[in-house]
Each structure stands twice: as C-alpha cells, then as structure tokens.
Amino acid sequence: MGVGMPAIVGLFCVAGFLATAALAVVVGRRPLGAPVIYGASFLLSILGLAAALTALIQNAEPAALTLPIGLPLLGAHFRIDALSAFFLVVVNGGGAAASLYGIGYGRHDPSPLRVLPYFPAYLAGMNLVLFADDAFIFLIAWEFMSLTSWALVLAHHQSPGNVRAGFIYILMASAGTLCLLLTFGLLAGPDGGYAFATIRENHHQIPVAALVLLLALIGAGSKAGLVPLHIWLPLAHPAAPSHVSALMSGVMTKVAIYGFIRIAFDLIAEPEWWTSLVVLAFGGITAALGVLYALLQQDIKRLLAYSTVENIGIVFVGLGLALAFRANQMPLPAALAMTAALLHVFNHLLFKSLLFFGAGAVLHKTGERNMERLGGLIHRMPQTAFVFLVGCTAISALPPLNGFVSEWLTFQAILVSPLLPQWGLKLMVPAVGALLAFAAALAAACFVKIYGITFLGRGRTLAAQTASETDHFSLAAMFVLAALCLLAGVFPGVLIDLLSPVTNAMVGGRMPPQIGLAWLSIVPITESRSSYNGAIILVFLIVSGALTAMVIHRFATRATRRSAFWDCGYPDRSLATQYSGSSFSMPIRRVFGVTLFHVRERVDMPRPGETRPGHFHVKIFDPAWRLAYGPAGRAIWAASGKLNQLQFLTIRRYLTLVFAALIVLLVVVAAWR
C-alpha cells in the first residue's frame, strides 16, 4: 500500500489545527484574534474537505502510514479508507461551516481565551479519530476530542447550570471511553495486537463478537446520544457557544457513529443476527423518545439537542438494518440500509448545523434562548428566518429537501425486511418502522413549534421586538448550508453514488448506480419497486404554485388590504394571549407524556372575586433519570456512605481487613488450580 496524498494532507491539517490552537493562546486577546483563528480553521477545514473528497471520489486503495510517535516500538498507525474519507468530509465540512460562522459570531465572545484555543484543537481531535488505525491512537484521539469539547462546554461556566452540564458530560464521556477500552481489549485478544490490521485478522468467537458489539454500542452510543445514554447531550450541547454546539451535535455525534461502524462492520468479522435486534430496538426507541423529549422543551438550543438524539436514533435504525441484512448475506439491502444511514449522517450535519447557527444568531441578537420570550423574529431577522425555515423543513423530513431522502431510503430498507428469515426481525422491523413514522410526524410538530413560537407571531419581549439581522459571515455560513440542503434533496443520486465505495467495503455490496438514470431520479432496488425524484417534485411544486398565483392575480384579483387581525371577532392585542410553546405541545404532552414522562399538571385558579393570579404548574420527570440514573446515583451515594466508615477503623481492624483479603485471594488461587 502506498502512502496516499489525502492521508498526508489530512495529517498536515491535523498538525495545522494544533498549531492554530497554539497560536490562539498568543493572539487570543487581540481584537483581530478571533477572525484570524477562525479564518485559519476555515482554510484548514476546506483543505481537509478537499483531501477527503478527493479520496472518496478517486475511490483509491486504502492508504496507510506509520509514524514513529506514540508508544515506543509500535509507532502510530494512520490510515484513510472510504469510510474514514466519508466521515472526514462530514467533520471538515461541519468544521468549515462552523469556522465561517465563527468569524462573525466569535467576535462578540466575552472570554475569547476560553474558546479560541480549544476550537481548532477540537477539530484536530475529531480528525485524528478518523485517521487512527490502531486502538491506542483511536482512544487517545477520542479522549482528546472529549476533553477539548468539555473545555468548550465550560467556556461560559458563569452561566447557571453549565458547571453541572460539564460534570455530567465528563462523567458520561469517561464511562463511554471505558466501554471502548474494554471493546478494544476484547478485540485485541490475549496476544494484544492493537493495530486495526491485526484485529481484522483475528477470528473472534461468537460470544466475544456479540459482547464487543454491545460494548461498542454503549461506548459509541453514549457519545452519540442513544437513549438512555443521552442525558449529558441536552445539557452540554446548549451550554457551549452556538458554533461549538453545531459541531458537537452535527459532527461529534457522527464521529461516535463512525466509531460504531468501524467496530461493528469492519473490525468484527461476522456478528450474530440477534445483535441487530438490539441495535434496532435502541435506534427505534431513541428516535421516538428523543423527539418526544424535544417537544417538551422551551429552550431553543436544548430542543435542537434533543432533536439530535432523535436523528441519531434514525441513523442507528439504518445501521441495525444493515447489520441484519449483512448477517443474512443480503448485500444489496444491506447496502441500501447503510447508504440510508450514512446519507442521514450527512444530511443531519447540514440541517442541524444550520439550525444551531440560526439559534446562535437569535441568542446573540436577543439574549434569549427561551422561546416563550421570543416571537415575531421573521420581521426583525428576515434572512435568518428564511434559512431557519429551510432547516426546519429539511429536518422534518419533508420533500423536496434532503431530510426526506434519507428517511425515505430508510423506509425502503424497512420494506425489504420481510425477506429476512428470522421471525424476530420480521416482526420487529415493522414496529421500528412505525416508531420512525411516529418520530417523523412528531419532528414536524416539534419544528412547527420552534419556528412558530420563535419566528412567527408577535414579539413577546422588548428584546424580541427590537432584534436586528445578524452579521454577514454567519448569514453566509447559513445560506451555504441551506443551499446544500436543497441540493442534497434534489440531486441525492450523486451522494448515493459517492457512498458506494463505503458500502462496498463495509457490507460487500452497493446500491445500483444512480447518476446515469433518466430524469435524475433515485431507484433503491428496481424502478418497478420504488423510485423518487426530488428535482421533478421541486419543479412541479414551483410551477403549479407559481402558475396558480399568477392566474389568480392576473384574472381574478390582487387587491389586498391590511387591517387588525380578526380572531373570530374577539381580537385581543395583548401579547400574552398568543399560543405559547408549552401550550402548543400540550395535547401531545397529555397524550404521550402521562405514561412516559409522568407529566403532572396542576391548575391553581383563583375563585371569582379573588385578586391573586392563577398558576399552572407542569412537572415532567425524565424516565432515564427516574428509572436508571437516579437509583444508580442513590446506590453509589449509599455505598460510599457505608464505605466511608473504613476511614475510622482501628489499626487492628485494618490489619484484619488486609489479612482477610489475603486469605480470600489465596482461597481463590487454590480453587483456580
């Protein structure tokens, strides 16, 4: 294997990011510091993006490279193949957008030294995970990524709640890394071959393979945000500055997915079919619960973070399907499911970054994250409002934008599932499909809520009424992403073909080539089975809508009059009579929340004649905290309380303990023999 150009360029970028981080420490306080650092990050990301795209398009042989750093005698192994090239596109694409946004947005940061050095370092860490070709480098890079992002979460540590967010984040990240550590330990086996090439050649026993897969699901899933390992995500993502939130939601969760794919599809030879059942169940539940959580939020950024949880669930459903098909030697459907998952990874990068940028713009211009104190921003920030609408439409899986394409492909893969021989899968997959449809419908509700309350209606506070449009760099980043959302939705065939080397390498098959098809439609299996054409839908929509409007304006009337709103004859100018975010989600909260979230509503209405105000209380209990973390935390607390007594023993007691431990060990040894 030769040393490919993209690998060298990529590693150069990593070094460049680290150098930028060092530079940031020096120039961070200068007024031009932020633009310089973000500009450098932008250029390096573009370079990395170009290198990764070249690697993906050329479809070259995997290129490996060993550098004499890291552990003595072993060196550090780096490699770039189709899978890592695709995820490098995601990381550097997201990095470039966030840097561009940061040029404008980062200028106003109150404490630049808490953000500027870590931002490029964070990008370096994520890049490095994708280049790693041995377990050592992988874990080091993974931890580096976690720690830098942790530092970014704590950038605004003065704000209430952020310290707690950072604490929970570092706790969950450590637990996840521990699982990955065990995963690689099991994979390497007793001989301790930690290079990925050695691991691939190991033949793993079936129970070991299954255990490794489950550990990887927990380890990578905790970083990606699988329910119930998601608890840190809605705390940490909103706490960071908005462009970092975009990176964490849009990019870092994808690096976690990369970790899972690398282990489950590449390093383990043949996992058992039932492991796919576990992945599917986690995916389906994550998708449905994630979006339900999201609907209950009033904080824009937290809502977006929960929506990330949902989308991660959709990706894992695709991956679970791919595992199931691969275990049954069905490469074509496996490639379809895998393509759907990877396409959703890419699409989610686009629209989630866009939405976080939009939320950042709103936050910056109004100082508010709570949508109940916003409203009417479509008049004050028209351009942000427009691109945010594109993002909302895309993430709600509506044609002709990109979110729909990947969900449509996932549904197509689900519709192939009756061909699977195992009855468990046959019955499970339609159930997961119903959960996905449920999640898609609720996602639409969720984004109607965020858009309707934040951007539409009348401004609820002075801040919302006097907001102004955001800066040009931020707008540029958002417009580029919005355009990409549309392009990816209208010409998905190009992306699907780009993904074919990845699926070839991972599941041994690819979807039929799409670019040559007539009218640029996409056909997952055969045309008589299903096909979709975003471009034609778009043209039809524009033509029929515009035609109707023109005909009516030309031949009927175009007279328009402005007046106060009607409201069925009882207009009330008060701003408080508008529908609020929590009232918007009330029906859904009541229908689904009572059992799942133990929602308790209490109305405290003063009697006629009383002058005190009425109150309405809603209590929501997170099932993950209530059922898992709460009891676990209490158990640890109780155990540590008990163990604390060890501190106050006499010397004789300590000696007794040591003696007892020795005897127990000796007995164990004796029994072992």
* Integer Rg of the chain from CA: 26
Q: Which residue has the tokens 């159930």?
A: 431
Region of 37-45, 133-141, 324-332, 435-443 interacting with other proteins (CB under 8 A): 435-443
| Residues 200-229 interacting with other proteins (rule: CB under 8 A) | none
Closest contact distance (angstroms) between CB of 479 and other proteins is: 17
Nearest to 168 by CA among 117, 92, 233, 252: 233
Should residue 598 be labelled a site residue for other proteins when binding is judged by CB under 8 A? Answer: no
Binding residue for other proteins (CB under 8 A) from 468, 595, 611, 647?
595
Closest contact distance (angstroms) between CB of 570 and other proteins is: 9
Kindly determine how many residues on this chain lie close enough to bind other proteins according to the rule CB under 8 A: 89
- Identity at 262, one-letter amino acid code: R
Binding residue for other proteins (CB under 8 A) from 69, 73, 191, 560?
560
| Residues 130-189 interacting with other proteins (rule: CB under 8 A) | none
Nearest residue (CB) to other proteins, 565 versus 672: 565
Closest contact distance (angstroms) between CB of 311 and other proteins is: 17
Should residue 435 be labelled a site residue for other proteins when binding is judged by CB under 8 A? Answer: yes
Should residue 603 be labelled a site residue for other proteins when binding is judged by CB under 8 A? Answer: no
Should residue 582 be labelled a site residue for other proteins when binding is judged by CB under 8 A? Answer: no
Closest contact distance (angstroms) between CB of 396 and other proteins is: 6
The secondary structure of residue 616, as a DSSP letter, is: E
Should residue 554 be labelled a site residue for other proteins when binding is judged by CB under 8 A? Answer: no
Should residue 433 be labelled a site residue for other proteins when binding is judged by CB under 8 A? Answer: yes
Closest contact distance (angstroms) between CB of 132 and other proteins is: 39
672 Cβ neighbours under 8 A, 6+ residues apart:
none
The Cα 37–Cα 108 span in angstroms is 14
Nearest residue (CB) to other proteins, 5 versus 456: 456
Region of 1-9, 94-102, 553-561, 664-672 interacting with other proteins (CB under 8 A): 553-561
The Cα 569–Cα 574 span in angstroms is 15
668 Cβ neighbours under 8 A, 6+ residues apart:
none
Strand pairing report for 600-604 and 76-80 = unpaired
Region of 175-183, 351-359, 454-462, 502-510 interacting with other proteins (CB under 8 A): 454-462
Backbone φ, ψ for residue 615 (5° rounding): -130, 150
The Cα 147–Cα 589 span in angstroms is 36
Residues in the chain: 673
Should residue 577 be labelled a site residue for other proteins when binding is judged by CB under 8 A? Answer: yes
| Residues 389-408 interacting with other proteins (rule: CB under 8 A) | 389, 393, 396-399, 404, 408
Nearest residue (CB) to other proteins, 218 versus 324: 324
Region of 102-110, 208-216, 332-340, 547-555 interacting with other proteins (CB under 8 A): 547-555
The Cα 469–Cα 475 span in angstroms is 9
Taking CA atoms, 52 is separated from 13, 120, 131, 313, 634, in Å, by 11, 18, 11, 26, 47
Binding residue for other proteins (CB under 8 A) from 161, 508, 513, 587?
587
Nearest to 280 by CA among 385, 138, 80, 428: 428
The Cα 121–Cα 44 span in angstroms is 12
